[in-house]
């Protein structure tokens, strides 16, 4: 759904919202406009991270105006009007994510509908679990098994799982992740089968190429700043060249100044102004200038006013906001929507 246009079909144009509605919020408004059964049918075609993002947006939503709903629905109709299908086909099903985002009562009926007939496999089941629970499952496994599991999961979840492990284990696992380029399909199948015995999964995973230095860098991007720094120091002690390569591949907030203008404009459409203000409180002038340059004059002035009016912000809040934006940027890059440009040049 685009955010600039939105004429209703067969009627008057809905009022354009006074604020920019992020696309994840548009998706949340659309789903909340549907009945539970229809919303469940849509959600079951989405992956864990997508469900979590939309679920959080639903939980935080309040006082949605009629004009906003009309605008979003017309945007959706316009976006899919020339298509023959929505192009969905993912078999991942929602689990604890909706409960966490919406609470037990609101999520219960959706979960009941979506989980019927689910066929999540052993390794994929881990993607729906809390990081600490996954950490407990692999805590006493061989480090190579731990490395395979960590490499298989999404980088942000992998980072949270590593944070639950001891320092020495964390270092060993990360070194193995960086050196892991591929795994025999049969070995991955056996690991999947073992997990399926615990989770009652369905078909086996097919991926055989996982891990590598780039994967290690992706995981490091999502780690808590303190854990990331200590782990990088330990890697430097063991293998300075490897540490340097990982650093070169990491994408940090300051690297946004290397993203082209079209990419920045697309990214800004996905980020709320509240998160952006907090993130920019801890950024250098080059990043701020890049952001301001890719906004309308009025929007840039409002953002500057918000930055000046914003009082002191905790470093942890700035880091959290910056990582939220980095996560959106990486997701868009993986989807081919933007190019992140050069690799990280400096550890923040």
DSSP category for residue 126:
G
Dihedral sign from CA coordinates of 209, 212, 217, 223: positive
Instruction: Decide if 159 contacts 223 (C-beta within 8 A).
Output: yes
Say how far residue 19 (Cα) sits from the centre of its chain. 23
Boundaries of domain holding 19: 1-118
Q: Give the C-alpha separation, 34 to 1, whole Å.
A: 17
Same domain, 144 and 243: yes
Q: Is residue 279 part of a domain?
A: yes
Same domain, 79 and 148: no
Q: Is residue 348 part of a domain?
A: no
Q: Is 93 exposed, middle or buried (0-12, 13-18, 19+ CB in 10 A)?
A: buried
Residue 202: pLDDT band with limits 50, 70, 90:
very low
Which candidate, 193, 222, 27, places its Cα nearest to that of 231?
A: 222
Residue 209: pLDDT band with limits 50, 70, 90:
low
What percent of the chain lies above the pLDDT cut of 90? 9
Identify the weakest region by mean pLDDT among 112-116, 254-258, 270-274, 301-305. Answer: 112-116
HSE (CB half, 13 Å, CA atoms) of 296? 6
Residues whose CB is less than 8 angstroms from the CB of residue 177 and which lie 6 or more positions away in sequence, other chains included: 147, 150, 151, 211, 212, 215, 216, 219
Q: Is residue 212 part of a domain?
A: yes
Using DSSP, state whether 44 is helix, strand or coil. Answer: coil
Same domain, 127 and 227: yes
Q: Is residue 150 part of a domain?
A: yes
Which candidate, 73, 67, 84, 64, places its Cα nearest to that of 9?
A: 73
96: number of Cβ within 10 Å: 15
pLDDT of residue 316: 82
Q: Give the C-alpha separation, 219 to 331, whole Å.
A: 14
Number of domains into which the chain is organized:
3
- Largest distance between two CA atoms of the chain: 67
Q: Is residue 344 part of a domain?
A: no
Residue 154: pLDDT band with limits 50, 70, 90:
confident
Same domain, 228 and 182: yes
pLDDT tens by residue, 55-104: 777 777 777 777 787 887 777 766 655 554 444 433 344 455 566 555 66
Q: Is residue 193 part of a domain?
A: yes
Same domain, 142 and 239: yes
Same domain, 112 and 132: no
Dihedral sign from CA coordinates of 137, 138, 140, 141: positive
- At which residue do the structure tokens 């789903």 appear? 31
Same domain, 156 and 173: yes
Same domain, 3 and 66: yes
Q: Is residue 341 part of a domain?
A: no
Q: Domain ends where: 210, 229, 249?
A: 249
Calculate the alpha carbon distances from 139 to 91, 128, 143, 163 in Å: 28, 18, 9, 12
Residue 342: pLDDT band with limits 50, 70, 90:
very low
Q: Is residue 34 part of a domain?
A: yes
Q: Domain ends where: 118, 139, 173?
A: 118
176: number of Cβ within 10 Å: 20
Same domain, 169 and 183: yes
Residue 220 has pLDDT above 60, yes or no: yes
Same domain, 21 and 96: yes
Residue 294: pLDDT band with limits 50, 70, 90:
very high
- At which residue do the structure tokens 């994967």 appear? 215
**Which CATH number do you get for residue 269?**
1.10.220.30
Q: Give the C-alpha separation, 240 to 237, whole Å.
A: 6
Q: Domain ends where: 100, 118, 136?
A: 118
Same domain, 139 and 242: yes
Question: 316 is written with which tokens?
Answer: 């942890």
Using a CB cutoff of 8 Å and minimum separation of 24, what contacts does 224-233 make? 224/159, 224/163, 225/319, 225/348, 227/162, 227/163, 227/170, 229/347, 230/167, 231/167, 231/170, 231/171, 231/174, 232/347
Q: Give the C-alpha separation, 113 to 60, whole Å.
A: 23
- At which residue do the structure tokens 């979840």 appear? 157
Identify the weakest region by mean pLDDT among 57-61, 109-113, 134-138. Answer: 109-113
Same domain, 259 and 187: no
Q: Give the C-alpha separation, 171 to 244, whole Å.
A: 16
Q: Give the C-alpha separation, 16 to 321, whole Å.
A: 27
């Amino acid at each position: 759904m685009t955010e600039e246009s939105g004429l209703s079909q067969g009627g008057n144009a809905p009022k354009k919202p006074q604020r920019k509605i992020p696309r994840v919020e548009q998706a949340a408004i659309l789903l909340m406009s549907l009945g539970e059964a229809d919303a469940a049918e849509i959600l079951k075609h989405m992956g864990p991270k997508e469900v979590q993002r939309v679920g959080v947006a639903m939980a935080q939503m309040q006082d949605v105006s009629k004009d906003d709903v009309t605008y979003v629905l017309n945007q959706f109709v316009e976006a899919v009007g020339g298509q023959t299908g929505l192009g969905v086909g993912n078999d991942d099903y929602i689990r604890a994510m909706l409960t966490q985002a919406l609470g037990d009562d609101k999520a219960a009926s959706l979960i009941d509908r979506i989980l019927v007939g689910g066929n999540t496999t052993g390794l994929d089941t881990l993607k729906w679990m809390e990081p600490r629970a996954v950490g407990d499952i692999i805590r006493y496994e061989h480090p190579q098994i731990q490395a395979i599991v960590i490499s298989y999961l999404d980088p942000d979840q992998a980072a949270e799982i590593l944070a639950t492990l001891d320092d020495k284990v964390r270092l060993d696992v990360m070194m193995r992740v960086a050196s892991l380029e591929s795994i025999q399909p049969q070995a991955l199948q056996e690991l999947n089968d073992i997990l399926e015995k615990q989770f009652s999964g369905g078909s086996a995973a097919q991926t055989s190429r996982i891990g590598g230095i780039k994967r290690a860098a992706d995981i490091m991007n999502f780690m808590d700043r303190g854990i990331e720094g200590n782990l990088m120091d330990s890697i430097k002690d063991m293998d300075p060249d490897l540490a340097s390569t990982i650093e070169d591949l990491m994408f940090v907030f300051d690297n946004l100044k290397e993203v082209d203008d079209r990419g920045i404009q697309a990214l800004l459409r996905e980020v709320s102004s509240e998160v952006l203000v907090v993130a920019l409180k801890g950024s250098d002038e080059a990043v701020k200038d890049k952001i301001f340059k890719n906004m309308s004059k009025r929007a840039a002035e409002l953002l500057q006013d918000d930055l000046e009016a914003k009082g002191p912000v905790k470093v942890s809040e700035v880091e959290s906001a910056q990582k939220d934006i980095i996560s959106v940027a990486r997701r868009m890059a993986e989807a081919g929507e933007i190019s992140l440009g050069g690799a990280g040049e400096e550890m923040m």
